[in-house]
Structure 1
Amino acid sequence: MDHAMLVGIDLGKHSFHLHGQDRNGKAVFRKKLGRKQLFEFFATYEVCIIVMEACAGSHHMARKLSTFGHQVKLISPQFVRPFVKSNKNDFVDAEAICEAASRPAMRFVTPKTESQQTLSVLHRVRESMVRDRTRTINQTHGFLLEFGVGLPVGKTAIARLPELLDAHALPPRLIAILERLHEHLKYLEKQIGEIERELARQLADDDVGQRLMSIPGIGPITASVLVAEMGDGRQYRCSRDFAASVGLVPRQYSTGGRSNFLGISHRGDKHVRCLLVLCARAYLRGLEKRTGRLAEWARAMMTRRHSNVVACALANKLARTAWAIVAHHSTFDSEFARP
């Protein structure tokens, strides 16, 4: 069997489909292997380039296969899809991965380290608990409203739920249900607080995170997310590429020499994009007290554009500033920041 210079792997939970091709693009082999067989195969195989889609388990697999001396690349699934020929199956997917990786202008994803993945998992757990907390609060409001008890919007009134239950004549079984929801809410509050304290402790020992927090509007949660998702920033050619990767640039639909720009593209990690927009809104809320070229730019924009548009534009600037700080090992300077 000829040696394959490029091997595409279609990842699965228990089985993996391999497509190998030589430097001329000619297919050399096709294999279906289990997880243990896959590691045994590449442990003795000649050094080659291995390409996988950036999906669940791909970062761990990339780190593991790199220990065997191979060059491992991850590619976004959206860039593989156009190369799938005819009917879709696992071997066709593996071949499409090779075809996509052969394009000279293709962009790849940098594999995450274990610490970055762990930090990302911690953020996802927190995000899930925050959603559950919001759902529990809304559910409690709804149940009380069905029995004629209207509370102010938010979680402040829910904190005084035991007092409110004593003040209203409600069915005993309903009171038991609401008390159970209240206990669940207190558990979620405790867990979210513990996760946020752990993130703060990790961030205190992280130089990159501390430099990111020098950007106005960016707090510990967003800085920690950026540390986990951006890494050293080398996978992006410039700050605009990072802003585009999180969907904070206009979506373009241009043809016939006519440029047509739509709303933001909403591509990439929506959690990172949401946090950056929230940071921008926090910055705009205290805009009248802020100084520097960024504040002057924001005030000028607010005079002629809607606040939502300004928030997205400012989030774009924050994303680009974050990349520059990470890539150039610098801190934010409000007086000399480019508008």
Structure 2
Amino acid sequence: MKVTTIAIDLAKNVFQVLGMTADAKKVYNKRLNRNQLKELLCNTPACTVVMEACYSSHYWGRVGLQFGHNVKLIPAQHVTPFVRGNKNDSNDALAIFEASSRPNIRFVPIKSEAQQEVLMMHRIRDRLIKQRIACTNQIRGLLVDFGFVFPQGFTAFEQNIWDIINDSEQRPLLRYLLNQVYDEYLQITKQLKDLNKLIKQKVEQTETGQILLSIPGIGHVIASAFEACIDKGQAFNGPKELAVWLGLTPRQYASGNKSQIYGITKRGDSYLRKQLIHGARTVVSHAHKKDDALNQWITQLKARIGFNKTAVATAHKLARLMWILLKKQTRYQAQIGQTAEIILCVR
């Protein structure tokens, strides 16, 4: 019997591999190590390979593509409902196969090594930001018991710590410990500056990055993360699908004639959604200074529903705008608002 679909339950060293025919008959369901899995993919004629989009899935997806297979990555949350019986690797592999045959499953595009390098930079940068904040917060809290209270901000932190370290009247052990923490803080800050510089260089080298940077509220960090996660948005049929995937659309609960709308769903990549909302906050804060169509819409919306909801709505609009501009391969150009049109007509 010819195997047409291979379902793989991924792990670190041991993999459960299920081979199925075109009429859903099981050919084998066995455990393989890393080398054996590579040999199987190499020796099996081109077929469909399905896996969960999880730990190491993009690496094995590239391996499958290298051997000529049609590789599909399924979001893990779409596989869980198909697990029957006890939770084990064999049943998981069968659930992956069943999920892959459903008509409305959206598969995850396989990321290249270059994309994963950029995402790796963002993950490390995010960790360093948390470490720097944790470092400063801990020292601020500990120094309160010594009578030192600093103003907010990294500049004030650096200046006050330096003054204490160089104050000969302070206790020697206190100065020594603060010196150690200050060196750690400076090292983290240097790493962050280097990563930010590298991210900026990478995103400015591509046409996609230039298009994204032309949009209000989209800086180098957001453009880089978006390009690494979404590329040109080819996995989505329209801007609405992208916004839904990012979790920026309202959550609905409907039953019978009753339908309720709640906050956003928060699906998809939480890091990218967070960065988009941060960028949108900047746009909303300065919207009253400009009179183009986008900023007029933001100003009117802010007056009705408040700052925070407007920031999320603006992030939603920016995400859709990013997809449209990437599809057209054109840069952003501000549209004339109604107020500006009236002034032009009067003149």
Fold match, TM over 0.5?
Answer: yes
Q: How does 1:206-221 map to 2 (within 5 A)?
A: 206-221=206-221
Contact persistence 2:53–2:74 (CA under 8 A): yes
Aligned to 2:62: 63
Partner residue of 1:294? 294
User: Deviations for 1:87-143, whole angstroms, at most 9, x for unmatched residues?
Assistant: 110111111000000001111000001110100001111111111111111111111
Cα deviation per residue 1:257-301 (whole Å; 9 max; x = unaligned)? Answer: 322111011111111011000001001111122232111110110
Query: Within 5 A, what are the aligned runs for 1:1-339?
Result: 2-160=1-159, 161-167=161-167, 169-335=169-335
> Shift of residue 243 of structure 1?
1.1
TM-score (norm 1): 0.96
RMSD of aligned C-alpha atoms? 1.4
Normalised to the residue count of structure 2, the TM-score between the two structures is 0.94
* Counterpart Cα distance in 2 of 1:167 and 1:34: 61
Opposite residue 205 of structure 1, the aligned amino acid is Q
| Counterpart code for 2:296 | E
Question: How much does 1:179 deviate?
Answer: 1.1
SS at match of 1:260: strand
Cα offsets for 1:185-220 (capped at 9, x unmatched):
100111110111111111121110110011101111
Residues in 1 aligned to 2:22 and 2:162: alpha-carbon distance in whole angstroms: 71
Structure 2 CA distance for partners of 1:285 and 1:169, relative to 1, 3 Å: farther
Relative to structure 1, the CA distance from residue 294 to residue 168 in structure 2 (aligned partners, 3 Å threshold; closer, same or farther) is farther
Q: Residues of 1 paired with 2:124 and 2:29: CA distance? A: 38
Instruction: Give 3-state SS (helix, strand or coil) of 1:303's partner.
Output: helix
Query: In the TM superposition, what whole-angstrom CA distance separates every residue of 1:292-335 from its partner, at most 9, and x where no partner exists?
Result: 21111101101110211111110111111111122221221220
The answer on whether the counterparts of 2:277 and 2:312 sit within 8 Å (CA) in structure 1 is: yes
Moved more, 251-260 or 7-16: 251-260
Rounded Cα–Cα distance in structure 2 between residues aligned with 1:191 and 1:13: 30
**8 Å CA contact 1:3, 1:46 repeated in 2:** no
Three-state SS of the structure 1 residue aligned to 2:255 is coil
The CA deviation at 1:336 is 6.8
Change (3 A) 1:156 1:257: same
* Rounded Cα–Cα distance in structure 2 between residues aligned with 1:269 and 1:122: 16
CA distance in 1, matches of 2:62, 2:246: 24
In structure 2, list runs of 5 or more residues that go unmatched: 338-347
Long gaps (5+) in structure 1 = none
Contact in 2 for aligned 1:84/1:93 (Cα 8 Å): yes
Q: Is the 8 A contact 1:6 1:23 kept in 2?
A: yes
2:310 and 2:211 map into 1 onto residues whose CA distance is: 24
